[in-house]
Amino acid sequence: MSMIGEVIVMETKVYFVRHAESPYTAGMERSRGISEKGKQDACKVKETLMSEDIEILISSPYERAILTIKGLAIELNKDIIVEEDLRERQLAGEEFTIPKEEFLTRRDEYMRTGIFRFRAANPANKLRKGLRVYLTG
């Protein structure tokens, strides 16, 4: 918080953290955890963000996302709020699966170009909807 003239200016910082490395397992999109490298990266996330006066932790419902910030939550003594609308676009899941090779090809193309479309709706709209509750409430 700061003052500009007689106006109090509130500042909100939002940190977005992509989930740590997670081995693909067909049919376990929501429940797959993180790899050994992912665990190391989650520790780096904790170390990086510990000094950032974080008030609230929000995660998608995916286990890999929750595990990525769990160490930080423990250190800060904060709960992780799980927000369904922050979930990733669906690549595979309990309802349908795709072969691992096809999954990796689709994922790599998306990561390379940022425009490859999977089977779900626009993820930016889901993200805005999911965050609106916390940033305006």
3-state secondary structure of 4: strand
Q: Which class does domain 14-95+129-136 fall in?
A: alpha beta
> Region 2-27: what's the mean pLDDT?
84
Instruction: Provide φ and ψ at 39, rounded to 5°.
Output: -65, -40
Is the CB of residue 57 less than 8 Å from the CB of residue 81?
Answer: yes
Condensed to tens digits (0 to 9), the pLDDT of residues 45-101 reads 999 999 999 999 999 999 999 999 999 999 999 999 999 878 765 554 555 566 778
What is the reported pLDDT for 120?
A: 46
Prediction pTM value:
0.66
